[in-house]
Amino acid sequence: MNKLCSVVVISILFSIPMLLHAQSEGFILMSSTIGPIDAGIVAALENAYEKETGVRVRHVGAGTGAALKIGEQCNVDLVMVHAKALEEKFVSDGFGTGRIPLMYNDFVIVGPASDPAGIKGMKSATEALKVVAAKSAPFISRGDKSGTHVAELDLWNKAGITPSGTWYTVYEKGSEGNAPTLLFTDQKGAYTVIDRATFLTIRDKIKLAVLVEGDEALLNHISLIPVNPARCPKVYNKEVLAFVAWLTDPNKGQRIIEDFGKDTYGQPLFFPESDAYKAQRKQ
């Protein structure tokens, strides 16, 4: 049976509160941030888990804020997201049982290869953004409270800047994900903050270049959060915990993450980060 296509139909999900969970009978349903879906890692993990265990996992794609909202409405069993402050609030409000480290990659600042703002090679992402703002260089934001948008706003905040003006554009279709946002940025010859995995997966379709990278502030940590069965009694908690254990196992899900992308892009798109993986590496 072919995997269900990931969809971003948040308005429908919100207007029919139990639609997804009714459809999920017999398998785990996860709401996931869109970047890992677009990169292909989510499907790769789902496929491998089903092949090994016979248990199906399906996902719906949404920005982190929307993915967590779906979890709050008890429409999924598990969320995969990347915005620490939003994740902590989700757990503290009782909707999730805890944040579980899964993997990470990094954000990069991209822009035209000609780099009119002159930020190429800068070591500090915040200093680079200060230059972009000072020169009113065109910048595109997802603007949808996704993990990527939250990370971008955090960088602006650290730079002491509230971006505004004609140079700063919020992409009206930003909720569709990083890939469409990056394609739009390319069309406009602008700058943006994007995850490296998205850039690598569509680099042949764009003329933008990675200009700023390697700053610790650009790390992009992705977590799993099981939906709390005390708040949502119909979630498949036992099945979710088994899936999470598999995803975080150094010899199973973490190994797939470690190798994913090497054959196609010459480098991994994500890096394992589970506690079990880190413990094994220390031995």
Residues 257-283: tens digit of each pLDDT? 999 999 999 999 999 999 999 999 988
What pLDDT does 26 receive? 64
Residue 1 has pLDDT above 80, yes or no: no
Report residue 21's pLDDT band, with 50, 70 and 90 as the boundaries: low
What tokens does 161 get?
A: 């800047």
Convert 242-256 to b/e letters by CB count within 10 Å (16 or more is b): ebbebbbebebbbeb
pLDDT in tens, 59-97: 999 999 999 999 999 999 999 999 999 999 999 999 999
Query: Tell me, which fold does domain 106-218 have in CATH?
Result: D-Maltodextrin-Binding Protein; domain 2 (3.40.190)
- pLDDT above 70 as % of the chain: 91
Q: Rg of the chain over CA atoms, in angstroms?
A: 19
Report residue 2's pLDDT band, with 50, 70 and 90 as the boundaries: very low
Phi and psi at residue 178, to the nearest 5°: -70, -40
Task: Give the closest residue to 75 by CA, choosing from 25, 8, 7, 29.
Answer: 29
CATH architecture, range 10-104+221-282? 3-Layer(aba) Sandwich (3.40)
Q: How many CB atoms lie within 10 A of CB 118?
A: 13
Residue type, 206: I
SS3 of 84, please? helix
Report residue 9's pLDDT band, with 50, 70 and 90 as the boundaries: very low
Domain regions of the chain by residue span: 10-104+221-282, 106-218
Higher-confidence residue of 155 and 23: namely: 155
Helix H or strand E segment including 272: strand 271-272
d(C-alpha 200, C-alpha 204), whole Å: 8
**Is the fold of 10-104+221-282 the same as that of 106-218?**
yes
